[in-house]
Structure 1
């Protein structure tokens, strides 16, 4: 039976990898996965926010189907997840690191987490905020840094507008959250690698705030990095922007180092010969582009993600696939790789034909990306956003606006010129709106299952 290792890197841009053509950053271990597997150049999240994106990955369903329409909405324990399916096949299912399909703010992190089909769960939804498996690991193994790794909760950081600061940490990389994720993952493999396993190794870095371990300072020279696109650069903000970008790149490379440790163990133990590795991110990061940081928008910086799959039997190594795929496609792909039945509730499409170099005529040639935002907590007002992203166009509409945005990516790859109201694009715009509507109708929720005619 094929083992499964899923690796997610939170808030990783699709182009923050050297294998994606970025000459400013070094990611040799992820590059190796790309050279030994298949890299998808046009992969998109299902939602540019943690909770809905991760819920889609677990279920293979769109946010409008599984109900996690945005942050602060828990994934129902009644949803069918791919770990549940693999558990029924006899797999030891495990998750180590950030899961974030439950609200982590104000949650009792010492109480048992809902399993969602996992037999082993070591959940740390933030880095150093709660008394969780990571902070307890630091207390046991690096007690001198137990206080240094602690940070304030994300809700507090957002309220204080400190969430996207870059900080020089007062702890070394050996005590970092990323190191813990890799060490705990290796420990799991040592103990359970002889049985069929499905392990989701989930890194929090390079999610903000960008806290750089003390021994990694200076890994990137801020003055050698390119400045953000479509961003107003002034003498006052340039230094800070460069420092934040260097910190982000440092954290990406640190995660890459930790992935290298994990891959080395797979090789040394012989597990590489029977383990499929699937690497992706839940969403992107603006990294100063458009004058923004974080995610939560429909621009490519926020919705486009890296996606790499390496299987032991892959034939054409190092291949690049340009087809439009989405994050939740990993769920049915994992089912196919393990010979597991896919529930009818899954709306995603397996990547297996594309991995084999075959055409997938049934694949929809665009991504559907969804998000909602809370406008006011006093009257529970929310705005819903839907985006269609094809190879040639990006169209986004909102529930509270009569007009949307539309970009012709063939002529305008940086998405600067909104052609929504351009008469020359009216027929194309109407066609895209129709396709978006059809996709939403085709993926209506079919749960609970109809048991009788009436």
Structure 2
């Protein structure tokens, strides 16, 4: 009898040990947490993992150093709302319905956070949403209405409108960490953490005011581009630093005395906190000071005093120098860079706060961390600010992914990837079936193999921009980008083609479309372009869009 009792005890011990081992394996194979970090208008030129000319971003670089950096990540439509809709749905703008910023995203469409929520993830959306509709598919959301404000920002938090004290980049991070602290520890989580910065009008945090005042930034070699070897569309736009930047809104050339006087005057019509696509105020310089006064008045008296100390000096310098022509353009470029990069500095600091929190709580290596922007941005290249064009600085967006269990530290990939691919990739890693109607591809084979490009990976990307006439008046266009070439067709009120050899002309200064030497290349690219339009169901795009005028 004792033998049987002893045998039973042994069996019980073995069973308990087996259960513990199974539990360990289950723990090892648990679904990864996901943090999707996206900024607004943060270009690769202003991220030192890509480019060290302008600013050091050590916390963002950490993601690259401990993960993978994609050299060739491109957007499908370089504008805020449409880019966000592409990322959420894994579908092109003409399929997901949000072709430009004037439209509202249809919240009945399936987005990847909903699929992760159904698969057991706790989901949160924090920061800039900019889709017009209410977020669906999230256990918690706290979003900036429309473009959001830099100081004392408003939020819509689970349906309730609130105002928070402080600087928006800090506040969004506080909310993100707050969600992580209070989350359900028994569930994996998806947190979409999206900053307003460094979107126009580039208002730095008080601690960063004047941080670059002693810096002279190198100028792009084509800052004074005269567009003589490019197309009509490149000339007919309203995004030149030289003449299209607004003095108060963009360059902060409104003194404290002027602003005080405006505050004492009869109230001007309120400048609405609009979506970027609300066209009645597009490119209207008559609203410049009134618009800036609204954001200035969101500051506390102490914040205003610190702000005035820095920017009154800028106004005085501007008046004293009395610059004209190219010299004025160069001066404006320096002021633009100081403000834009100071906003980036706050982003980098706050990403560092988030990484430190994850490390302190033991969740850093269990979490897929994605860093990207909704598109690129011009920092003076071709004399431009803003985005929209299919030219490289606007088309390319940063993409850094950290996940130690699968992604080699310090790896780099040349693969042609798109923001269309983000949703399929995250679903793939979470073990959730990717819907057949998603048009992107999972990047998991690239991430799992040190950045190597599979033989069957795409050889070209497709782009389509729709928002014209509107802000900055960039004409509608679509095109194809391969590893070496780019072909663009501008249409609607124009019919022009541009072809660039990126190997010989990386700055896209010389349109080769009419060059006999490139005739065969142009024809081959047109054939590839047609195939991509069939693949992505965007055939006859010019004809379809013409009907919408």
Q: What TM-score results when the alignment is normalised by the length of structure 1?
A: 0.83
Q: CA deviation at 1:243?
A: 1.4
For the aligned residue pairs, the C-alpha RMSD in angstroms reads 2.2
Question: Greater helix percent: which structure?
Answer: 2
Which residue does 2:149 correspond to in 1?
Answer: 128
Distance 1:66 1:133 in 2: 24
Which residue does 1:179 correspond to in 2?
Answer: 170
2:117 to 73, 82, 87: 87
Indicate conservation of the 8 Å contact 2:45/2:54, yes or no. Answer: no
1:198 to 182, 190, 193: 190
Which residue does 1:370 correspond to in 2?
Answer: 464
Distance 2:398 2:407 in 1: 21
Q: CA deviation at 1:67?
A: 2.0
Indicate conservation of the 8 Å contact 1:37/1:311, yes or no. Answer: yes
Distance 1:190 1:205 in 2: 24
Which residue does 1:268 correspond to in 2?
Answer: 360
Distance 2:445 2:46 in 1: 27
Indicate conservation of the 8 Å contact 2:77/2:83, yes or no. Answer: yes
Distance 1:222 1:391 in 2: 39
1:442 aligns with 2:535: yes
Distance 2:483 2:341 in 1: 28
- Number of aligned positions between the proteins: 398
Distance 1:271 1:7 in 2: 16
2:517 to 421, 424, 438: 424
> Unaligned regions of 5+ residues in structure 1, if any?
103-112, 143-174, 446-454
Q: What TM-score results when the alignment is normalised by the length of structure 2?
A: 0.69
In the TM superposition, what are the counterparts of 1:237-276 in structure 2 within 5 Å? 237-276=329-368
Which residue does 1:332 correspond to in 2?
Answer: 424
Distance 2:195 2:470 in 1: 32
Which residue does 2:387 correspond to in 1?
Answer: 295
In the TM superposition, what are the counterparts of 1:44-193 in structure 2 within 5 Å? 44-102=74-132, 113-124=133-144, 125-128=146-149, 131-133=154-156, 139=164, 142=165, 175-192=166-183
Q: Deviations over 1:136-189 (max 9, x none)?
A: 7754xx4xxxxxxxxxxxxxxxxxxxxxxxxxxxxxxxx211001111000000
Which residue does 2:408 correspond to in 1?
Answer: 316
1:226 aligns with 2:218: yes
* 4+ long deviations beyond 4 Å: 133-139
Distance 2:436 2:106 in 1: 17
Indicate conservation of the 8 Å contact 1:15/1:306, yes or no. Answer: no
Distance 2:38 2:334 in 1: 26
Distance 1:54 1:4 in 2: 17
Question: Greater strand percent: which structure?
Answer: 1
> Unaligned regions of 5+ residues in structure 2, if any?
1-30, 225-324, 539-549
Which residue does 1:412 correspond to in 2?
Answer: 505
Q: CA deviation at 1:68?
A: 1.3
Indicate conservation of the 8 Å contact 1:222/1:243, yes or no. Answer: no
Indicate conservation of the 8 Å contact 1:222/1:245, yes or no. Answer: no
Distance 2:188 2:515 in 1: 56
Q: Deviations over 1:259-296 (max 9, x none)?
A: 00011110011111311001101111112221221111
Q: 1:409 to 1:193 in 2, by over 3 A?
A: farther
